[in-house]
């Protein structure tokens, strides 16, 4: 699976299409998805649920396989979800974009983030699938409370892979498009699944790298 913040219309659609075709993911979640990236997913994937928009509200999910796809109702900013059958096992996945924690007024951002995580964890606890995934731009490095809350309920899958080979998980975000990656704020958490591989890939025009995780259901 792949998750990535494409910075609205800043991500070049042709390069994004080349990236997705080259990686050939089964499941894709995009955040800050405007019209260009939305058309890329619609062209590549038969199964998709796409809500392009601006002001950081655009989002989409696309699947190579037949799946139930839709919007995930969360306070402040909705997400997307997918439910699919994988060799007789059920997998439920959510794609989310948490609010930026350092915008003014910061106390509103604290409430927004808390409300979103509360609703997301309540949704996750209500799922009865063999495997569960929560992925996206969390706007939180492992030092932030939001990350620790999610990691307390689910496994940080890229970290799981990195720890297994004695390395640090790769960073995913830089201050400007094309700048070196500074922080790891895009994450994939899971329950009832484990990661067998992970990688990050530049999204030309975006300040985020795409995060790819190869998964197996336990």
Nearest-angstrom CA–CA distance, 69 and 92: 10
Mean pLDDT score across all residues of the chain: 95
- 210 has a pLDDT exceeding 80: yes
Q: What is the mean pLDDT of residues 36-62?
A: 96
Look up the pTM and report it: 0.96
Q: What is the mean pLDDT of residues 184-193?
A: 97
pLDDT of residue 126: 96
CB-based contact 56:63 (threshold 8 Å):
no
pLDDT of residue 53: 94
pLDDT of residue 104: 78
Nearest-angstrom CA–CA distance, 53 and 37: 11
What are the tens digits of pLDDT across the range 121-166?
999 999 999 999 999 999 999 999 999 999 999 999 999 999 999 9
pLDDT of residue 9: 86
HEC sequence for the chain: CEEEEEEECCCCHHHHHHHHHHHCCCEEEEEEECHHHHHHHHHHCCEEEEECCCCCCCEEEEECCCCEEEEECCCCCCEEEEEEEECCEEEEEEEEECCCCCCCCHHHHHHHHHHHHHHHHHHHHCCCCCEEEEEEECCCCCCCHHHHHHHHHCEEHHHHHHHHCCCCCCCCECCCCCCCCCECCEEEEEECEEEEEEEEEECCCCCEEEEEEEEEEC
- 217 has a pLDDT exceeding 90: no
What are the tens digits of pLDDT across the range 62-119?
999 999 999 999 998 999 999 999 889 999 999 999 999 887 787 888 899 999 999 9
pLDDT of residue 69: 98
pLDDT of residue 35: 95
């Amino acid at each position: 699976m792949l998750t990535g913040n494409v910075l609205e219309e800043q991500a070049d659609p042709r390069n994004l299409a080349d990236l997705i075709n080259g990686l050939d993911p089964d499941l894709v979640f995009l955040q800050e998805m405007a019209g260009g990236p939305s058309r890329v997913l619609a062209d590549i994937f038969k199964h998709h649920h796409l809500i392009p928009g601006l002001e950081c509200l655009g989002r989409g999910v696309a699947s190579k396989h037949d799946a139930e796809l839709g919007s995930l109702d969360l306070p402040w900013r909705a997400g997307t979800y997918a439910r699919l059958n994988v060799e007789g096992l059920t997998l439920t996945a959510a794609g989310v974009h948490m609010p930026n924690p350092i915008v003014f007024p910061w106390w509103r951002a604290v409430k927004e983030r808390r409300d979103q995580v509360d609703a997301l964890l309540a949704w996750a606890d209500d799922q009865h699938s063999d495997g569960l995934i929560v992925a996206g731009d969390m706007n939180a490095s492992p030092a932030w409370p939001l990350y620790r809350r999610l990691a307390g309920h689910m496994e940080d899958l890229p970290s799981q892979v990195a720890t297994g080979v004695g390395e640090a998980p790769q960073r995913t975000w830089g201050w400007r498009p094309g700048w070196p990656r500074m922080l790891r704020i895009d994450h994939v958490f899971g329950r009832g699944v484990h990661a067998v591989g992970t990688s990050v890939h530049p999204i030309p025009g975006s300040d985020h790298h795409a995060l790819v995780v190869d998964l197996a259901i336990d």
